[in-house]
Chain A
Amino acid sequence: MSGWMQHLIVAPILLPLAVSGLLLAFDERRRTLKRVLSLATVAALVGIAVMLLWLVSDGFGLSPASAPRVYLLGNWPAPFGIVLVADRLSALMLLLASLLGFTALFYAMARWDRSGPRFHVLFLLLLAGINGAFLTGDIFNLFVFFEVLLAASYGLILHGSGTERTSASLHYITINIATSLLFLIGVAMIYAATGTLNMADLATRIPDVPSGNLALLEGGAAILGTAFLVKSGMWPLSFWLSRTYAAAAPPVAAIFAIMTKVGIYIVLRLTSLLFGQAAGGAARFADDWLIWGGLATMLFGTIGILSARKLSRIAGHYVLVSSGTLLAAIGIGGHAVTAALLFYLVSSTLALGALYLIIEPVGRNVEEEDMTSGISEPVFDDEYTGALEEDEDESGVVIPGTIAILGGGFIFCTLLLSGLPPLSGFIAKFAIIDALFQPAAIAPASWLLIALIIGSGLATLIGLTRAGIDLLWTPSEDNPPRLSVIEVAPIGLLLATCLALMLSAGPIFLYMETTAVALGDRSAYIEAVLHAPRANGARP
């Protein structure tokens, strides 16, 4: 890795940050320029993520020996400065985030980016924060990136304004600020117990923590973990989630589908790196919490899906089911389960994104009166109001057979989310269940997880079918909903990606398995970070 290639790791953070700063300089009325710039940026992010994936896997090879790539910020040596680490897992998450970001941004161009000021700036800032959280190798730096993505998400959740959004965002912001304080307490306690914040350095020091400090360390890790579990929506920390996501504008909700997965990613990273088998006294101390918490979350989400009347609430509860499945699977652990849960993570995130995007056009003819509330009067006098006056024909041309397109897409989403064959949702769930059956003695928690995976799939099928019949099959006097190509294309792209996941499930699964093996063997990560060479031959 030489020349400009070594700076590729920092590009997913710097590029959206720089462009979002640049976009601030332009007036809101230069919308085309803003759109072109931000879409080009996110497209570049997809490209960068693919290149990083190629780099960390030695040309998409499947050897687990390929070392993570480390970037020393400011060229400080590893445990002292902040490091960015790109390994197989973070490259995969980067690609997932940028793909989802690209489709959500594309969709937003149909009309949503006009419903309030500075949509593109906030969107790019959110992506910068998410990418940073995936790449960083330092837990305090992780806090900073979390704050970046949260600050952007506060703005995005308010995007479009309106009473419901303001009220939901008030709760959302309060909960997240309180959670950030928990995050800080956890970081401070871990620092007090170990004296370092670098994840790789932590991993080497945790086995040697004296037993007197073990309670401090585990307490700190538990408080830190609570912060991530609030983000990822574990029951009973998840009551804010479905209402907030339902209140958000559709493209915002779609990109928020990756935000719960940021919490999951961190839990997976920290449990495998810091509290794996080799962690001495603190090894696997959180696993039971993750398993039972995850199972409770699944149960809560399943009941929520069955009781929800609105499609957006069903989607919100499905986010919980998905998080619960992942958390319980992380708690059970093992290579096979980890590989399967990674596949499930990718598949369910893409499908959820597609569902959030399709909800609004599907409900359009039924909830016509709600359409106007999507864009409401500004609260403050100096706020940008141009969106309200321009472009009356905002939905674009009427495509013949829109109902057919929407219905097809909706059925596709339903199959994906409920996990019916032959789509990738089925492969993912089947793989998890298959991995759970591999040990000779199957733990009761595994049986419960299997039952809940099947049960939640059934509930999703029932919930989505019921909503779909109401929205799509009921004969309607109204005209079919107007739909523009800009809205159909991103949904199609997401669903096509899921289809690609299904068709090339073999190689992708091999990649996930290598990733899981690499996660289980933390020595490569530690070695890569602590012995990262400095640029210009500076003394290590």
Chain B
Amino acid sequence: MEIALALAIGILTASGLWLLFRPRTFQVVLGLSLLSYAVNLFILAAGRLRTNAPPIVGKEAADPALYADPVPQALVLTAIVISFATTALLLVVLLASRGLTGTDHVDGEEGEP
């Protein structure tokens, strides 16, 4: 489980970074999305990996060792919402830039061929 998660985070980060440094705006947006997936998984891992452990404690006093840490799960939810919203905004700016400059290059002009 640990190795699968670590590989997933690593591959997402690597491809995200590669796309982030590409010259086309859409690639950059995709890169940022992949990076945010990697970060979300990373936050989840920060709460230590547990399987089949509920994050919510009932009324009775319980042994915390039996439960998963709920805080990172709450953090991930917040992070997902925020990165979703900012990605949507970036897409709008991308379209505006494409409309104004006529190119989808990140600098608004084509570089040397």
Q: A residues near B, CB below 8 A?
A: 140, 143-144, 147, 150-151, 154, 158, 161-163, 166-167, 169-171, 173-174, 177-178, 180-181, 184-185, 187-189, 191-192, 197, 379-380
Contacts and interface: CB of A to CB of B under 8 A. Distances in A.
B25 to A, nearest CB: 7
B55 interface: no
Q: Which 5 residue pairs are nearest across A and B when measured between Cβ atoms?
A: A188-B46, A192-B46, A167-B108, A188-B43, A379-B96
Contacts of A158: 93, 96
B32 A177 contact: yes
| B: interface residue count bin | 35 or more
Given A151-B89, A163-B100, A166-B100, A185 B42 contact: yes
B39 interface: yes
Contacts of B89: 151, 154, 173
25 contacts: A140-B78, A150-B86, A158-B96, A163-B101, A169-B93, A173-B90, A173-B93, A174-B28, A177-B86, A178-B35, A180-B82, A180-B83, A181-B35, A181-B39, A187-B43, A187-B75, A188-B43, A188-B46, A188-B75, A191-B47, A191-B71, A192-B45, A192-B47, A379-B99, A380-B96
B97 A167 contact: yes
B106 A170 contact: yes
B43 A184 contact: yes
A184 B94 CA distance: 24
Given A140-B78, A173-B90, A184-B39, 18 more contacts: A147-B82, A154-B93, A163-B108, A166-B100, A167-B108, A173-B86, A173-B93, A174-B106, A178-B20, A181-B35, A184-B42, A188-B43, A188-B45, A188-B72, A191-B46, A191-B75, A192-B46, A379-B99
Contacts of A143: 78
Contacts of B28: 174
A178 B32 contact: yes
Contacts of B100: 162-163, 166-167, 379
Contacts of B42: 184-185, 188
B86 A147 contact: yes
B5 interface: no
Nearest to B106: A170
Nearest to B32: A177
Contacts of B108: 163, 166-167, 170
B46 A174 contact: no
A340 to B, nearest CB: 37
Contact of B93 (A151, A162, A170, A191): A170
Contacts of A162: 100
Interface in B25-57: 25, 28, 32, 35-36, 39, 42-43, 45-48
Interface string B69-107: 001100100110011011101100111110111000011
Nearest to B101: A163
Contacts of B47: 191-192
A316 B108 CA distance: 22
A154 B106 CA distance: 17
Given A169-B93, A180-B82, A185 B71 contact: no
Nearest to A150: B86
Contacts of B83: 177, 180-181
B78 A174 contact: no
